[in-house]
Structure 1
Amino acid sequence: MAAPAPTELELDPKYDDYDYPTKAPVPQNGHPGFLTASQQASVFQLRMMLESEGYTKRLDTLTLLRFLRARKFDVNLAKQMFVDCEKWRQETDLDNVIAAWEYPEKEEVFKYYPQYYHKTDKDGRPVYIEQLGGIDLAAMYKITTAERMLTNLAVEYERLADPRLPACSRKAGTLLETCCTVMDLKGVGIGKIPQVYSYVKQVSGLSQNYYPERLGRLYVINAPWGFSTVWSVIKGWIDPVTVQKIHILGSGYQKELLAQVPAENLPKEFGGSCTCAGGCQMSDMGPWHEKEWTKPAKWEKKEGATATKPAEPLAAGATATGTADAPAPAPAAA
């Protein structure tokens, strides 16, 4: 029996005000432009269920589709995931936090744990880089707190959603909803694995539960001896579909990584040719800073965007675990 023919994405003018492409670049089941009639109906059903319970924000088609894909188009499970996410957002006042957030300790934290977006891969997606070799939680917590680190992580996810991905989609001419992550484990010896393991488990809960379907590819490079044991545990937190997106590489990673990220977009220390003025770690270079492609983020225009007092960090309760697909920054984030 032939598979049902995919349907074009049906948008809702009440919620869908996209100013960038809305069709996935390649045919993928359940992705925009490649939905079955049943999947499109699931979007309508999920929206109606949420509206009936008083939800009015983030009911656009692309967002609902991400939650549906994360729960294999089980509408009830997707609804529960969405409701849990909205509850977390309300408890942490995230809509106002993002507008007022400042992270002045960023440069000092980066001495131990660089994590940054830098240009794009060959598919036009943002490249996100993490270097875990210098992690020293005791030293880092003298500079910042675990709560502030989680807050900054959430803010960066929000900024990935807007303005980074919309700018990349405009430039690529097709919808881009995910990023390409490079996780460098150089310097992560056996002694550091417990700290790295602890932190990764913490942040993976936030990404999996609240930012589903954000990982396109993950390259774990310079994987140390013994990492296979850690990976066998980490895989248990992740959906099998997500596991297929993850590539575990040793020190000879350059050929495979450069097949996905153009040399001119990859920092020189990873085998590329990019040497941004002031260093790639702090440059935040990408289409989201190119006048032709970027536009003000919608959260900048929302109520509370003019807040001037520093926002409070997110509650530590944002670290619940889950199994949805979300982006980096963690091996379990997909």
Structure 2
Amino acid sequence: MAEPTTLELDAKYDDYDFPTTAPVPQNGHAGYLTKQQQALVHQLRLMLEAEGFTKRLDTLTLLRFLRARKFDVALAKKMFVECEKWRQDIKLDETVPSWTYPEKEEMFKYYPQYYHKTDKDGRPVYIEQLGGIDLTAMYKITTAERMLTNLAVEYERLADPRLPACSRKSGVLLETCCTIMDLKGVGLSKAPQVYSYVKQASGLSQNYYPERLGRLYLINAPWGFGTVWGIIKGWLDPVTVQKIHVLGSGYQKELLEQVPAENLPKQFGGSCECAGGCPLSDMGPWREKEWAKPPKWETEETTINNTPGEIKDGGADVPAAETAVTDVAEVKAPAPAAT
């Protein structure tokens, strides 16, 4: 493999106020690109601009889509275009700044899904408890459309402000989550309903919010889950499968090796007991004054002012590269985040 190159940034597209180098050397990740990979970013951006796309063309976004498609520019472009069509269809850019979900607390009686603090790598911890899912009861509280919209909004809020705040605190670029999916209570009677929902979630997160999964712990896996897991693996990319750990009821030791006890809710073997309950606290660096900043979707238009200038790399001013870098984000219908 060719020697990695420093990540090229251009103020026309890139407006980062957090670190932009991956925590460890990884092929195709920020700060560890080959010259050819960097050129593919440029190529993808030019192709998208030629088709009239102007938003989400920043370098880090484009890199996620390229990695998700093994740096096949044509496939990455297809993924991006489909994502942008979906965003436009549901008016996601207009929805995110004003979205409220007042039924959240009532919904959590059936299906808690929430971000809570960070793992030992500094990434947001995302938790889902699937044992109480009852779609009939849930649809009396909300609608399928609102559930999906809320999931999409949460993905957007993961991208900004959650991950930028975690990156500032860690001093490195963090783009993924540590996900805990609790299967306790998912018996045979609930399995078809729960697993169909999980399949939808897996497909949506993988296809429309690529490269967001760092680790996934499936805990309290019921008897016979091995057979189901064999089917689920078929829906996933082999790289994704390597990030997934299937654990039974004795999961605490392995989970605590990744998540500090003080950051893990007590019900999962940790020591955290947030006032009002961990599921509704939304605690993490994105709530800490030292690291949190208003999300860009709240403070300015999505399109960056196309004026060349200085770019911030983890707080340090660096000259903007003369060449533009290609980057586009594509997203599709939201899913319960096995992000």
Settle same-fold status: TM greater than 0.5.
Answer: yes
Question: More displaced, 138-147 or 203-212?
Answer: 203-212
2:337 equivalent to 1:329:
yes
Distance (Å, rounded) in 2 between the aligned partners of 1:182 and 1:274: 15
Residue segments in structure 2 that go unaligned for 5+ positions in a row: 303-331
- Alignment correspondent of 2:126: 128
Distance (Å, rounded) in 1 between the aligned partners of 2:204 and 2:99: 18
What is the letter of the counterpart of residue 267 of structure 1? P
Moved over 6 A (4+): none
What is the letter of the counterpart of residue 117 of structure 1? Y
What is the letter of the counterpart of residue 206 of structure 2? Q
The root-mean-square deviation of aligned C-alpha atoms, in Å, is 1.4
Aligned residues: 310
- Alignment correspondent of 1:299: 297
Superposition pairs for residues 1-334 of structure 1, below 5 Å?
Answer: 3-303=1-301, 318=333, 329-330=337-338, 333=339
What is the letter of the counterpart of residue 224 of structure 2? G
Residues 261 and 269 in structure 2, CA contact (< 8 A), matched pair in contact too: yes
Residues 223-250 of structure 1, C-alpha deviations (whole Å, 9 max, x = no match): 0011111111111110000000000000
The alpha-carbon deviation at position 329 of structure 1 amounts to 1.8
What is the letter of the counterpart of residue 318 of structure 1? A
Residues 166 and 291 in structure 2, CA contact (< 8 A), matched pair in contact too: yes
Residues 30 and 39 in structure 1, CA contact (< 8 A), matched pair in contact too: yes
Distance (Å, rounded) in 1 between the aligned partners of 2:191 and 2:55: 40
Matched position secondary structure for 1:251: coil
Residues 260-306 of structure 1, C-alpha deviations (whole Å, 9 max, x = no match): 000000000000000001100100000000000010001112349xx
Residues 150 and 203 in structure 1, CA contact (< 8 A), matched pair in contact too: no
TM-score (norm 2): 0.89
TM-score (norm 1): 0.91
Distance (Å, rounded) in 2 between the aligned partners of 1:43 and 1:328: 30
What is the letter of the counterpart of residue 40 of structure 1? Q
Residues 181 and 328 in structure 1, CA contact (< 8 A), matched pair in contact too: no
- Alignment correspondent of 2:305: none
Residue segments in structure 1 that go unaligned for 5+ positions in a row: 305-316, 320-326
Matched position secondary structure for 1:207: helix
Greater relative CO, 1 or 2 (CA 8 Å, sep 6+): 2
Q: Percent identity?
A: 81
Residues 190 and 226 in structure 1, CA contact (< 8 A), matched pair in contact too: no
- Alignment correspondent of 1:309: none
Matched position secondary structure for 2:94: helix
Residues 152 and 333 in structure 2, CA contact (< 8 A), matched pair in contact too: no
Distance (Å, rounded) in 1 between the aligned partners of 2:91 and 2:8: 31
Matched position secondary structure for 2:141: coil
The alpha-carbon deviation at position 204 of structure 1 amounts to 2.4
Residues 214 and 328 in structure 1, CA contact (< 8 A), matched pair in contact too: no
Residues 267 and 274 in structure 1, CA contact (< 8 A), matched pair in contact too: yes
